[in-house]
Amino acid sequence: MKKSQEIAKRMDDRKEDIIKKYYEGLSLRRIAREEGVSTQTISRYLERWEIREECKAELPFEKRVNPELLARMRENTCINNQKIKFYKLTKEVLEGRLYRRKIKSIN
């Protein structure tokens, strides 16, 4: 039996397990590794079995990130935004002073 025929038979025999793993959220790469085939093979068979392949990138960001990391990221964003506002204000104040000094030196 050819290797491609062996893979086809194995994939058909394992169809339910592969689909179950896919719907449990395992990546194509992990399923392929566990089944001993390529990710393209898993993708091709899911398509053949009419299982819609969902792209992980389509999932909302919050669902793909650890909640603790997401909270820390939001906290850091708030701190950074405060610093940006401070430095922007400081820059505006300094630019204003320099502008006023230039006017005084011209007069």
Closest Cα to residue 15, out of 30, 1, 35? 35
CA distance 86 to 84: 5
CA distance 11 to 23: 16
pLDDT per position in the chain (107 positions), as tens?
678 888 888 888 988 999 988 888 888 999 999 999 999 999 999 988 888 766 555 555 545 667 787 778 778 877 777 777 777 767 777 777 776 776 666 65
- Whole-structure pTM value: 0.49
User: CB-hemisphere CA count at 13 Å for 55?
Assistant: 3
The domain limits of the chain are 1-58, 62-107
Closest Cα to residue 56, out of 27, 33, 31? 27
Q: What's the confidence (pLDDT) of residue 41?
A: 93
